[in-house]
């Protein structure tokens, strides 16, 4: 599992703080499970689908190989748009595999290959496309025999020799190419891309692509929604929220996960959708379900989603995410003896939890600037599982560098015990109010789930703790302090829970607490 953690960090640098990994030579069952849980939750946090899979499934080269196949990581990809007239928004929304095919066909066209490659199986089985691609990218290693040979297996062997000379490792054999193994061929092409993508370094084009993806906060919001939606196990993987929701189908999938039975699938059209009015019908049903769940949907129509209105899509998704969190928190109410769960309730729980260990650090709100040091969360994590934090690795959290070290450690430790969270170190350092609530609620959720003997007294929770981190807790996401988590939800029915996530008309129109300024 240490290898898996390494692989995840190669894919997205800094995802796992390696200080949180149990690395001694002989690990007990608990320590091995912690490493497995950390790897799984971290894989989920970088966008890997980990629903119904085991830890062994993490050993996939595609995690690493497909990481840079987007405009943000490789702005040079803007060049693959035909004659500069292609749709950048469409390119941004493509799945990494589709981007790779577009890149491959871009070079094949330059090399004189007359066919279009549409897949990584049957279209590459004769290895001719590979021969043309490598001749374009690395002509200095070209072998004339590659295209002259009549035997596909021999051609595949020469192709692999060519690729190896330009620095590619052998992910597959000639037989794998000829037999059309999709994942192996995908990995092979992705590695060619990483070694030599052959794209322009035209500063004007790169600058334009970088400007398209340079809104940091909007990028964070999109990332949060995307990872949350994918964590639900939707059938259609979300690559770009604002593009992928426009046909309405993925939103219907999410609604069906969050509010089972709410979707009338007989009135929905599954992609690919040829007729635009079918997309509007899907999105109209999304809005209708939102009304049923008592979301505030002022000025939101199905056509707004189809047209990709980011402001309104963000507002709707925040409400949907909040509804999901309320449903998760229902399971906590049996331990709260009917008390409503608000921001203050969660803060008080965390403060009491820390105080029960003899420490004195406390906070008044999720806007408390002292949270930026990370020490509060480290003390909270230590309170719910005393041995999980190695205090020799903790800094004072005074400088920006020390705060980042603590923040990265917090995220990995939380994932290690089983919390499924999507925040970034910057969210802790900048005291992002929503993410502070998310992190605290996720730790609370995990603690109560894994501490069946812990009960609430009149003064708060006792510190009895049952060690069992075998099951990662579900993702918890939430709004800021202005909206209480479960206020006005005495019986917590679906309708009552939904009513708590409403924002006012003015908030919705102005994007307060839902959009990025």
Q: Provide the pLDDT for residue 457.
A: 39
Identify whether residues 193 and 310 lie together within a single domain.
no
Average pLDDT over residues 341-361: 90
419's tokens: 């919390």
89 confidence band (pLDDT: 50, 70, 90) = low
Helices (H), 214-306: 216-231, 241-244, 249-258, 276-292, 302-306
Which segment of 12-16, 219-223, 347-351, 370-374 scores lowest on mean pLDDT? 12-16
Q: Provide the pLDDT for residue 30.
A: 59
- Determine, yes or no, domain membership for 254: yes
Identify whether residues 147 and 230 lie together within a single domain.
no
Residue with tokens 């006012």: 504
| Percent of the chain surpassing pLDDT 70 | 70
Q: Provide the pLDDT for residue 107.
A: 95
- Determine, yes or no, domain membership for 349: yes
Q: Which helix (H) or strand (E) element contains residue 460?
A: strand 460-461
470's tokens: 């075998």
Confirm whether pTM is higher than 0.75.
no
- Determine, yes or no, domain membership for 66: no
Identify whether residues 348 and 382 lie together within a single domain.
yes
Q: ∠ CA(312), CA(313), CA(318), 5° rounding?
A: 100
Residue with tokens 């981007």: 99
The predicted-structure confidence for 384-416, as pLDDT tens digits, reads as follows 999 899 999 999 999 999 999 999 999 999 998
Q: Provide the pLDDT for residue 35.
A: 77
Q: Provide the pLDDT for residue 319.
A: 87
Identify whether residues 15 and 112 lie together within a single domain.
no
Residue 24 or 402, more confident: 402
Helices and strands, number each (H, E), in the chain: 24, 2
pLDDT of 453 strictly over 70 = no
Q: What are the φ and ψ backbone dihedral angles of 123, each rounded to 5 degrees?
A: -75, -15
Q: How far is residue 390's CA from residue 383's CA, in Å, rounded to a whole number?
A: 13
Q: How far is residue 402's CA from residue 18's CA, in Å, rounded to a whole number?
A: 16
Q: What CATH number corresponds to the domain at position 306?
A: 1.10.418.10
CB 229 within 8 A of CB 254: yes
Identify whether residues 190 and 228 lie together within a single domain.
no
CB 86 within 8 A of CB 230: no
The predicted-structure confidence for 164-218, as pLDDT tens digits, reads as follows 999 887 778 999 999 998 878 988 998 899 899 998 766 555 555 555 544 666 6
Which segment of 142-146, 238-242, 299-303, 449-453 scores lowest on mean pLDDT? 449-453
- Which range of residues forms the domain containing residue 175? 75-208
Identify whether residues 120 and 168 lie together within a single domain.
yes
Which of 156, 179, 208 terminates a domain? The answer is: 208
Identify whether residues 106 and 181 lie together within a single domain.
yes
Residue 12 or 351, more confident: 351
- Determine, yes or no, domain membership for 305: yes
Which segment of 253-262, 401-410, 491-500 scores lowest on mean pLDDT? 491-500
Average pLDDT over residues 413-432: 90
- Determine, yes or no, domain membership for 356: yes
pLDDT of 363 strictly over 70 = yes
Identify whether residues 300 and 272 lie together within a single domain.
yes
Which of 404, 437, 452 terminates a domain? The answer is: 452
- Determine, yes or no, domain membership for 14: yes
CB 378 within 8 A of CB 428: no
Q: Provide the pLDDT for residue 207.
A: 58
Which SS3 state, helix, strand or coil, does residue 88 take? Answer: helix
287 confidence band (pLDDT: 50, 70, 90) = very high
Average pLDDT over residues 256-260: 95
Domain count, the chain: 4
C-alpha dihedral (166, 168, 169, 173), degrees to nearest 10: -90
CA nearest to 363, candidates 344, 382, 378: 344
Which of 208, 223, 244 terminates a domain? The answer is: 208
Identify whether residues 114 and 52 lie together within a single domain.
no
CB 507 within 8 A of CB 300: no
Using the CB atoms, write b or e for 170-187: b if 16+ within 10 Å. ebbebebbbebbeebbbb
**DSSP calls for 400-453:** HHHHHHHHHHHHHHHHHHT------HHHHHTT-HHHHHHHHHHHHHHHHHT-TT
Q: Provide the pLDDT for residue 259.
A: 95
Which SS3 state, helix, strand or coil, does residue 94 take? Answer: coil
The predicted-structure confidence for 232-254, as pLDDT tens digits, reads as follows 889 888 888 988 999 999 999 99
Q: Provide the pLDDT for residue 221.
A: 79
CA nearest to 353, candidates 208, 454, 469: 454
pLDDT of 507 strictly over 60 = no
Identify whether residues 179 and 85 lie together within a single domain.
yes
Which residues, listed in sequence order, are joined to residue 460 by a DSSP beta bridge?
A: 457
- Determine, yes or no, domain membership for 12: yes
Average pLDDT over residues 269-289: 96
The predicted-structure confidence for 30-69, as pLDDT tens digits, reads as follows 577 677 777 777 777 766 655 444 433 333 344 456 666 7
CA nearest to 378, candidates 345, 342, 402, 399: 402
Identify whether residues 102 and 188 lie together within a single domain.
yes
Identify whether residues 379 and 297 lie together within a single domain.
no
- Determine, yes or no, domain membership for 464: no
CA nearest to 60, candidates 171, 178, 193: 171
């Amino acid at each position: 599992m240490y290898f898996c953690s390494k692989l995840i960090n190669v894919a997205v640098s800094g995802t796992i703080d390696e200080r949180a990994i149990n690395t001694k030579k002989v690990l007990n069952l608990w320590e091995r499970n912690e490493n497995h849980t950390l790897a799984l939750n971290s894989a989920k946090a970088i966008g890997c689908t980990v629903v119904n899979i085991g830890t062994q499934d993490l050993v996939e080269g595609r995690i690493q190989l497909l990481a840079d196949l987007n405009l943000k990581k490789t702005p040079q990809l803007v060049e693959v748009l035909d004659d500069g007239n292609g749709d950048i928004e469409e390119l941004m929304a493509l799945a990494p595999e589709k981007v790779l095919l577009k890149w491959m066909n871009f070079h094949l066209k330059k090399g004189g290959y007359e066919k279009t490659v549409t897949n990584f199986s049957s279209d590459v089985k004769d290895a001719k496309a590979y021969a043309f691609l490598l001749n374009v990218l690395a002509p200095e290693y070209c072998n004339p025999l590659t295209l002259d040979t009549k035997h596909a297996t021999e051609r595949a062997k020469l192709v692999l020799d060519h690729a190896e000379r330009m620095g590619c490792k052998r992910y597959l054999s000639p037989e794998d190419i000829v037999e059309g193994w999709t994942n192996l061929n995908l990995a092979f092409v992705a590695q060619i891309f990483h070694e030599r993508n052959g794209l322009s370094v035209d500063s004007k084009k790169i600058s334009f692509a970088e400007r398209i993806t340079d809104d940091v906060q909007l990028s964070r919001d999109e990332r949060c929604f995307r990872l949350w939606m994918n964590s639900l196990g939707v059938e259609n993987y979300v690559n770009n929220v604002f593009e992928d929701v426009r046909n309405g189908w993925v939103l219907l999938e999410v609604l069906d996960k969050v509010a089972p039975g709410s979707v009338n699938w007989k009135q929905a059209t599954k992609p690919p959708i040829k007729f635009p009015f079918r997309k509007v019908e899907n999105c109209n049903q999304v809005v209708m379900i939102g009304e049923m769940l008592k979301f505030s949907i002022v000025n939101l129509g199905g056509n707004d989603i189809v047209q990709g209105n980011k402001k309104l899509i963000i507002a709707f998704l925040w409400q949907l995410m909040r509804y999901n969190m309320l449903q998760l928190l229902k399971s906590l109410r049996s331990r709260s003896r009917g008390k409503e769960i608000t921001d203050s309730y969660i803060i008080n729980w965390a403060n009491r939890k820390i105080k029960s260990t003899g420490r004195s650090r406390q906070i008044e709100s999720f806007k408390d600037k002292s949270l930026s040091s990370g020490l509060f969360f480290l003390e909270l994590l230590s309170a719910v599982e005393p041995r999980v934090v190695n205090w020799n690795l903790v800094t004072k959290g005074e400088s920006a560098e020390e705060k980042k070290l603590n923040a990265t450690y917090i995220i990995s430790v939380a994932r290690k015990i089983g919390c499924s969270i999507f925040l970034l170190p910057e969210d802790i350092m900048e005291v992002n109010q929503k993410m502070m609530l998310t992190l605290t609620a996720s730790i609370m959720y995990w603690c109560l789930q894994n501490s069946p003997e812990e009960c609430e007294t009149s003064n708060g929770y006792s510190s009895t703790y049952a060690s069992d981190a075998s099951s990662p807790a579900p993702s918890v996401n939430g709004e800021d302090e202005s909206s209480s988590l479960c206020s006005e939800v005495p019986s917590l029915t679906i309708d009552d829970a939904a009513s708590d996530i409403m924002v006012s008309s003015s908030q919705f129109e102005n994007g307060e607490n839902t959009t990025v300024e």
